[in-house]
A and B are shown apart, each in its own frame.
Chain A
Amino acid sequence: MGPLVPDIVSPNLNYIVALIVGILFGAILEQAGFSSSKKLVGLFYGYDFTVLRVFFTAGIVAMIGVMAFNYFGLLDVSLIFINPLYIWSAIIGGLIMGLGFVIGGFCPGTSVCAAAIGKIDAMIFIGGAFLGVLIFAEGYPLFEGLYKAAYYGNPTVPETLGISQNLFAFLMVIMAVSAFIVTKMIEDKVNGISSKPFTPLPYFMSVGIIGILVAVVSFSFTDRKTNLLSMVEDKNIVSNYPIDKMSVDEFAFNLLKYDEISTVQYIDFRPDSLRKQLNFPNTHPFTVDDLFTKEPNKLLTLLDKQNIFIAQDELTAKKMAIIATELGYKRIRILEGGVQNFVEQILNYTPIENPKTVDEKNVNRFRIEAKATLPELLKEFQPKEEVKKEKKRVLGGC
């Protein structure tokens, strides 16, 4: 599950990744023509809208890609960097940058591109940018108030506007496609290309059709978590969903032999209060949210371990097991009847008075012994103060 940093990709490897990403970035930008100031400012004077086409296409492809990866559980979006919101410095900084664009003809990324192929105006621009940072640094006391004003954390636009992610993606696609069509018309007009009645039509139609497809696609990657949570509230689905069970006897047996049996781990969904009273070996406390995040996910993918979901009652465990199964996790079973059943049938076992069948005799014998041994044994596993692992977002930004 992504992001691969910092576990699968170490911080040092991350630098190599940065280098490779940069090489591809620079190559794509240069191939698109972003190494020419005249081409770049064409966006603002109507004669060349390349920047808009590349920019919006890239942004939307990546946006829908992130939504899709989130949907398929490939990326934990709660860990990725989301630019912080400081309202005033964003607006004023942006306006200054816009002014800088039409005076200087570049932005930092494109200036590096252009300088790399020998553009002297880009090299001067980069020199200016250094000076600008220096001015900001030295004049920091003047800027600081504005720089830190109106901080609102790291919200996403759907959160800020109170709409769904899918609706936002859809609107962005509509906006981009409209922009592509309108700017094509403007560009042709500015460049004096008389549009023959039929030549632009295929262009507009293909842009339009692809745009509609993409917009529709943006609705298919709905928030997995909300879907699954409402799925398990449907009693019919839950009762008909096949989940394997572990009997309380097998559970008790595994507990008695906990130091010999290493192929089982218990995923415990009970609240802290209940776990403090009664806890088990080889157990990991989980909440329903943990099923969707990266760190806990690693426990569920251990190939040599069976995942036994336990909760106070069987229904809760079954709901969690259904969600986990839908997310693709395997080797899942639930404790039959839940921990309350275990307490009733084993820890508080009332022996059968006159066992007649072999089964009854065996159950009696086993449970009487379990009842005698387990309580002392389980006392050892009182949960220590769990160090709550702080989920840290990736540090990013400029």
Chain B
Amino acid sequence: MENNKYMNPYLAGFFLGLLLLATIYITGRGLGASGAIKSATIAAVQTVTPEHTNNTKFYKEYSSEHSGNPLMNWLVFEVVGVLIGAFLSGLVSNRLGFVLEKGPHTKTKIRVAGALIGGILWGIGSQLGRGCTSGAALSGLAVMSTGGILTMFAIFAGAYAFAYFFRKMWI
């Protein structure tokens, strides 16, 4: 099912760089992703247990800094766009299909657990790091932000440091 007609990475990087530049010019901010997941989580908790959000520090701090619906957020709109754009790209390049991708020697159970745990780690890590590879690393690089670039190095360092222990999942 692998369609290897991917765009040349340097060309893709060039376009992505232009997009990032345009975004900064128009909006004054860069791209991101983890913030949308944060917004969605907060919105879900607020809907399900509003009293809890009034009693818990994290949500109270968030509400004091942001008024209104947490879903009315730049990143939420952007990520909805990402869903649409990626879908259209997959459609055009004939890459649509339900697949559970995993390494050649990995059992499905392991991959599922890995995806879940990896997601949890990113959920925690991106909150601590105030961003993920899109928001902190990529956008941070574009504006030369020390915080963003430090986070970027930490992400890569962490991945390379731990890669060996999980190699069986991928190769």
Contact = CB atoms under 8 A, between A and B. Distances in A.
Q: Do A and B bind each other?
A: yes
Interface of A: 2-5, 9, 14-33, 35-38, 41, 43-45, 47, 50, 53-63, 65-66, 69, 74-75, 77, 79-87, 89-109, 111-122, 124-138, 140-141, 143-144, 146-147, 152, 154-160, 165, 168-169, 172, 393-398
Nearest to B147: A85
B115 A104 contact: yes
Given A125-B116, A132-B121, A137 B41 contact: yes
Q: How large is the interface on B (under 10, 10 to 19, 20 to 34, 35 or more residues)?
A: 35 or more
In terms of DSSP, what is the predominant structure of the interface of chain B? helix
Contacts, number: 556
23 contacts: A22-B85, A25-B16, A26-B83, A29-B86, A63-B141, A75-B25, A80-B28, A82-B144, A83-B139, A84-B147, A86-B130, A95-B155, A98-B159, A103-B169, A105-B169, A112-B33, A112-B83, A140-B58, A165-B144, A396-B74, A397-B130, A398-B33, A398-B132
Contacts of A3: 24-28
A27 B154 contact: no
A96 B138 contact: no
Interface of B: 2, 6-7, 9-10, 12-38, 40-42, 44-45, 56-59, 72, 74-75, 77-90, 93, 95-103, 111-112, 114-163, 165-167, 169-171
Residue among A36, A133, A141, A158 with max Cβ neighbours from chain B (10 Å): A133
A81 B74 CA distance: 13
A69 B28 contact: no
Contacts of B139: 83, 396
Contacts of B96: 117-118
Given A61-B14, A62-B17, A396 B28 contact: yes
A146 B129 CA distance: 10
